[in-house]
Structure 1
Amino acid sequence: MADVALTIRDNLNQTYADVYTSEALAALSALAPFNQRIKAAMADRLHRRAERRRLNQRIAFLDPQRFIPHTQIRVQDARDGNFDGALIPPDLQRQWIQGTGPATKPNAPVENSIRNVAYALLSGADGWMFDGEDALGQITTMSLDNQRNLKLAIHRDPLFLKVAEQVAGEMNTWARGFLGRETITDWQAQLDFTTKIFRARGLHLDDRHIRDAEGVAMAASIVDLTLYVTNNYRALQQAGSSVVLYLPKIQTAGEAALWNQMLTALEQHLGLAEGTIKVYVLVEQLEATYQLMEIRAALSPHFVGFNTGRWDYINSVSDALAWDDSFINPNIEAITMTYGYMRHYEDRVRRAVNTPDRNGNYALWQGGMEPNIPVGSTEGVAASMAKAVAGAEREQREGASGKWVAHWKMVHIVRPVWEKVGEANQLGRQFPPLTYTQADADGLIQLEPAPRDIRGARNLLSVALQYGNAFGQGMQAAALKPADFFGNDDILYLMEDMATGEIRLSILWEWLHKEARLTEADPATGVQAGDVFTESLYRRLLEEEYDKLLQASGKDVFDSSKTTTLPIARAIADTYILSGVKPPWFIDLLNINLNNGDLAEAKRRISLYMETLNQEGKRITENLDFRPAGRVV
């Protein structure tokens, strides 16, 4: 591919010359032609979504005689395992616990923000997914700070080592008090224990700092993939570590094949053997669950495993069935991994990874997220930790080779579940082969009776508003709980990220626009069992929950946010929930308001987005504060 000119805003190529190295810029230029292909793939997504709404059409399995787009692989061959999968490298053979979180903090100097990396690599997790997506704030230059901190840590910069030594002492102090023992004996050796993994942003997001030669915002997936791999592959290989990525939000095998072509193009550009870069795929989209083997095949020889996250997946089911008035989710708390469509989703994933390829190779299944944090009252922590361990035990029994935790303090609480079993993984565990019947398709959208009540609606609203506010403050991962439980240490905060904010708005949108009937009476509002969730009821709850946040202490809601990002979060949530056409992504409305604290300007941008979506069928995904010369938005 020929080099392509790029535009980087505000002289960031000089401020972040250690990230935008000449080698990285050359690689970005080489991969820039993929930008238009990604934009076309995202237009196809919106078209499929609109057609499902127009035709009242459910997602279906692919025609087995078709070829997977961008490949020479027939769908039936993929389902039969007739492809060459990847071997699992040694440092991914045992991944009992993977932690997740960003490598930086908002508005923090390097010596402070890089502590995130130290906590991760000293946690005792088998792997740590440093997040460039749902949990990474995007205000100012956080995406670049994330890349810088990872490079400093992977290259063992003296600053990082100084911070790591300090953090190790603090972690041992906590461990002695909570676990009754230290968890780190040799902090320098401990840094080598955890496999470094990076989650790039999905195909649906644009980078905020780079535009291509046509002035089009560069797909964030290209930027994240290229900067991380180019800046770190040598140091990782010299340390005997694999180059590993998590790929999020893939909806189809065709999109997986596009990712595969980008991975191969980068490997060729850097002179790496094909398959050097290994990838897990987060199964976060309903459509992907109909194409699991096809996605595996399309990503060969890079693919090593699937992950079953909860929150994004729930949202994707809600979104895919937005047109279906009979599909209405219950309270979010009821939608566990054993609930209806979630149970079927998990089962298909474990059957897919345990289908052998033509060489007898299997793939890994990494279980879902544990959002609890052991901070609260003695009783509250004990109850939450017991729940966390029970959830891990269930996943281990079901066949997962490990799971995720959202906080380093959870590693030594949950990891013993797999440690006691002692098996490195569950590759090749026997499950029934995948089938592709109408009953299978129906199971993937199966609802079951569960509560739908005012308490649930309040929780949905409160956390969604708080999440939008946290996002605007640069914290895409935040410890949150409903406002009614502020000050109650028996109810623990949960680590919430972009997906958990979005699903709450999705469910409220369903309840309102599909006229959901509530299952429980509520004396405070006068609601009776069987009453419809109306717009007037929604507006009342919004006012009440918003007022609780305004009255909250600075511990739960920053005082400075109450006149800046919190009102904007309310405007976004209100627009989303009241919109007749369900917006495709909550994050779009949040992203176009990053670094903006003016409510009037936010409302202008929100209106612009909704008008563009409704009139032109297009999303606004670019950074509105970084415009090519002469362009007015």
Structure 2
Amino acid sequence: MITDDLAVETQTRCINVIGQTIDEGYAELLSPEALDFLDAVVAKFNARRNDLLALREQRQQRFDQGELPGFRTDTQSIRDDKSWSVAPIPAALKDRRVEITGPIERKMVINALNSGAKVFMCCFEDASAPSWENMVDGQINLRDANNGSINYTDLKKGKYYSLNDNPALLIARPRGIHLPEAHIQVEGEPIAGCLMDFALYFFHNYKTRQEQGLGVYYYIPKLECMEEAQWWADIFHFTEEYFNVPTGTIKATVLIETLPAVFQMDEMLYAMRDHIVAMNCGRWDYIFSYIKTLKNHKDRILPDRHGVGMDQPFLTAYSQLLVKTCHQRGAFAMGGMSAFIPSKDPQELDQVLAKVTEDKKRESSNGHDGTWVAHPGLVNTVMEIFDNHLADKANQLDFKGTEEEITAEMLLEPCDGVRNEAGVRKNIRIALYYIEAWIQGYGCVPIYGLMEDAATAEISRASIWQWIHHGVVLDDGQTFTAELFRKWLNEELGTIQAEVGDERYANGRFEETAQLFDELSTADEFAAFLTLPSYGLLTEESLNYKKE
């Protein structure tokens, strides 16, 4: 449990930190002053967050009943008014040609900062499982990274890690607004995890960043509409007033990774115009959101995820519209994640680099100002591609995008591809491997040559649910049913046991994961995020958390 001193101090606040031991390092992070600020943010914004989540459900109900997403009529004036733009972009953020993303684990933070990338997006969200220890340790790691003191000794390998002289620029990504933090509660209810992530990161780093001539920079995930963007903008303004720092001290990049959001990019830029500097093609979550949003639309079922690349027309339209919209408003347009992991096999490595090169040349040609990689081994390859395309420029803000009108029909058009047993079986294995790792505290997992995170696992399970729900006929003529899924699920458990060995299988949580995956895949109602029902399994040993 928490120490007596902390318990007394929190009695004067609305929030309560429960169910955890607060050692000396954690007590420093969860200081009275830090908790006062978090309490103020939660008091002002947590209830409004709940209203926004309720609006999401109402919107999804309309889509489930046959409505299609589209451009809003009530905000037409914002889109039509070409006179406004976002606030000027700070010098530190003007060259972002290669960004590396990764989890908040200490050694990986150091490696990412030393990777040679321009920016490191450190992720409290899809790349990190939100256990209490991960979330608090992550804040400590980023505080130490910002003040330059971060180091790590790998006792098993006898290797010491510390920062190079010119590390990447650090940007933090808090959790999405849908994810709770069960260990900090108000009147017995968990607060929004993103408020914890945002508030603690700002409190512990804004002075250090000021001394370095920098603002406090965030990546904001999973937004669906202008109102959610306005919520974040109001949080930013409140925070800057609370600490008496200039407007624009906080700068944000917004991930466009939901289907509803792609139709409201102008509106979101407008709502956050004092703080936003860029939007990013969060491609994997976007594919997941396409499936989730249109899950009841039988005429818009996507093929196997491994055949849905950015060369597909509906994803090309998404990329081009993001570039066009952002550049017209003076914001950067960032490309999406390359999830490939470089192989030690020379032939496989050549294939990986060829795929990455094709993808990143497409993004640079589309007008993106930079892009993401998940592995340090890809930084130099992608840097060279953008160096060659940009020449002596830091970005492509002068490129205003395609002259072709990007219509709603183009953004909603499904694509063709394989629907076969091999693809389903692979998706089952990937989901089992990932969820099993996630509920043990690992959010970023290398599987079959790709760096999988929650977004890619979401695609696998969403596709399986949709195919079962609509009785999709596979390429070999089999109808994909719950019974067939369960047969393959049990067989793939055996494949996993053979791949990992009996000892690892016995000591793992694969059977528990399979039960959860079965429930998620065959339920009548689609779970909005697999991380919500999985959260109870992640936290059950430290907290008697009521599952959503």
- TM-score, normalised via structure 2 length: 0.92
| 1:155 and 2:121 matched | no
| 1:326 and 2:299 matched | yes
Match of 2:116 among 124, 141, 151: 124
1:296/1:97 CA distance change after superposition, 3 Å: same
The residue matched to 2:165 in structure 1 has which SS?
helix
Q: Tell me, in whole angstroms, the C-alpha distance in 2 between the residues paired with 1:95 and 1:163.
A: 30
Q: Tell me, in whole angstroms, the C-alpha distance in 2 between the residues paired with 1:49 and 1:416.
A: 42
Letter of the 2:429 counterpart: S
CA positional deviation for 1:561 = 5.0
CA positional deviation for 1:434 = 8.3
Q: Tell me, in whole angstroms, the C-alpha distance in 2 between the residues paired with 1:79 and 1:538.
A: 48
| 1:38 and 2:49 matched | yes
Q: Tell me, in whole angstroms, the C-alpha distance in 1 between the residues paired with 2:499 and 2:35.
A: 46
Counterpart of 2:423 in structure 1 is 456
The residue matched to 2:93 in structure 1 has which SS?
helix
State whether residues 206 and 220 of structure 1, in contact with CA within 8 Å, keep that contact through their aligned partners in structure 2. Answer: yes
Q: CA RMSD in A?
A: 2.5
Counterpart of 2:8 in structure 1 is none
1:595/1:550 CA distance change after superposition, 3 Å: farther
Q: Tell me, in whole angstroms, the C-alpha distance in 2 between the residues paired with 1:308 and 1:466.
A: 26
Counterpart of 1:490 in structure 2 is none
Superposed counterparts of 1:20-169, under 5 Å = 20-33=30-43, 34-53=45-64, 55-63=65-73, 66=74, 75-104=76-105, 114-157=106-149, 160-161=150-151
1:559/1:129 CA distance change after superposition, 3 Å: farther
Q: Tell me, in whole angstroms, the C-alpha distance in 1 between the residues paired with 2:193 and 2:32.
A: 19
Identity of aligned residues (%): 28
Letter of the 1:190 counterpart: N
Match of 2:359 among 370, 383, 391: 391
CA positional deviation for 1:149 = 0.8
Q: Tell me, in whole angstroms, the C-alpha distance in 1 between the residues paired with 2:428 and 2:463.
A: 10
Letter of the 1:430 counterpart: K
The residue matched to 1:444 in structure 2 has which SS?
helix
Q: CA offsets, 1:493-536, max 9 Å, x none?
A: 210000111110111111111121222xxxxxxxx3x4422333
Match of 1:190 among 159, 162, 166: 166
CA positional deviation for 1:115 = 1.8
Counterpart of 1:543 in structure 2 is 490
1:10/1:579 CA distance change after superposition, 3 Å: closer
1:458/1:261 CA distance change after superposition, 3 Å: same
CA positional deviation for 1:330 = 0.4
The residue matched to 1:32 in structure 2 has which SS?
helix
Counterpart of 1:351 in structure 2 is 324
State whether residues 452 and 518 of structure 1, in contact with CA within 8 Å, keep that contact through their aligned partners in structure 2. Answer: yes
| 1:476 and 2:476 matched | no
Letter of the 1:28 counterpart: L
Counterpart of 2:465 in structure 1 is 509
CA positional deviation for 1:398 = 1.0
CA positional deviation for 1:9 = 1.5
State whether residues 75 and 294 of structure 1, in contact with CA within 8 Å, keep that contact through their aligned partners in structure 2. Answer: no
1:24/1:468 CA distance change after superposition, 3 Å: same
- TM-score, normalised via structure 1 length: 0.80
1:304/1:323 CA distance change after superposition, 3 Å: same
Match of 2:174 among 200, 204, 212: 200
Q: Using the TM superposition, name which of 120-129 and 544-553 deviates more.
A: 544-553
| 1:7 and 2:16 matched | yes
Q: Using the TM superposition, name which of 493-502 and 136-145 deviates more.
A: 136-145
State whether residues 195 and 241 of structure 1, in contact with CA within 8 Å, keep that contact through their aligned partners in structure 2. Answer: no
| 1:443 and 2:410 matched | yes
Counterpart of 2:3 in structure 1 is none
Q: Tell me, in whole angstroms, the C-alpha distance in 1 between the residues paired with 2:411 and 2:248.
A: 32
Letter of the 1:136 counterpart: S
Q: Tell me, in whole angstroms, the C-alpha distance in 1 between the residues paired with 2:55 and 2:22.
A: 33
State whether residues 339 and 373 of structure 2, in contact with CA within 8 Å, keep that contact through their aligned partners in structure 1. Answer: yes
| 1:625 and 2:533 matched | no
The residue matched to 2:253 in structure 1 has which SS?
strand
The residue matched to 1:580 in structure 2 has which SS?
coil
Q: Tell me, in whole angstroms, the C-alpha distance in 2 between the residues paired with 1:625 and 1:116.
A: 31
| 1:428 and 2:384 matched | no
Letter of the 1:383 counterpart: Q
1:595/1:215 CA distance change after superposition, 3 Å: closer
1:140/1:244 CA distance change after superposition, 3 Å: closer
Match of 1:301 among 250, 267, 274: 274
Letter of the 2:510 counterpart: L
1:588/1:303 CA distance change after superposition, 3 Å: same
Letter of the 1:87 counterpart: P
Q: CA offsets, 1:537-577, max 9 Å, x none?
A: 222211221110122235xxx94454542112111111111
State whether residues 79 and 294 of structure 1, in contact with CA within 8 Å, keep that contact through their aligned partners in structure 2. Answer: no
Counterpart of 2:537 in structure 1 is 593
Letter of the 2:301 counterpart: I
1:133/1:392 CA distance change after superposition, 3 Å: same
Query: Structure 1: which 5+ residue stretches go unaligned?
Result: 67-73, 105-113, 172-185, 357-361, 482-492, 520-527, 598-622
Match of 1:584 among 514, 517, 528: 528
Counterpart of 1:342 in structure 2 is 315
Letter of the 1:466 counterpart: Y
1:187/1:313 CA distance change after superposition, 3 Å: closer
The residue matched to 1:278 in structure 2 has which SS?
strand
Q: Tell me, in whole angstroms, the C-alpha distance in 2 between the residues paired with 1:321 and 1:624.
A: 35
Q: CA offsets, 1:377-429, max 9 Å, x none?
A: 11111211121122111111111111111112221222111122332111130
CA positional deviation for 1:148 = 0.6
CA positional deviation for 1:325 = 1.8
Letter of the 1:308 counterpart: C
The residue matched to 2:493 in structure 1 has which SS?
helix
Q: Tell me, in whole angstroms, the C-alpha distance in 2 between the residues paired with 1:24 and 1:453.
A: 52
Letter of the 1:552 counterpart: E
CA positional deviation for 1:365 = 0.9
CA positional deviation for 1:41 = 0.8
Q: Tell me, in whole angstroms, the C-alpha distance in 2 between the residues paired with 1:265 and 1:60.
A: 32
Q: CA offsets, 1:245-284, max 9 Å, x none?
A: 0000000011100111111111111111122100000111
Letter of the 2:488 counterpart: L
State whether residues 20 and 183 of structure 2, in contact with CA within 8 Å, keep that contact through their aligned partners in structure 1. Answer: no
1:163/1:241 CA distance change after superposition, 3 Å: farther
Q: Tell me, in whole angstroms, the C-alpha distance in 1 between the residues paired with 2:361 and 2:160.
A: 29
State whether residues 107 and 152 of structure 2, in contact with CA within 8 Å, keep that contact through their aligned partners in structure 1. Answer: no
Match of 1:19 among 29, 32, 42: 29
1:35/1:187 CA distance change after superposition, 3 Å: closer
State whether residues 367 and 401 of structure 2, in contact with CA within 8 Å, keep that contact through their aligned partners in structure 1. Answer: no
Letter of the 2:446 counterpart: A
Q: Tell me, in whole angstroms, the C-alpha distance in 2 between the residues paired with 1:626 and 1:578.
A: 24
Q: CA offsets, 1:223-247, max 9 Å, x none?
A: 1111111100111121122311000
Query: Structure 2: which 5+ residue stretches go unaligned?
Result: 1-11
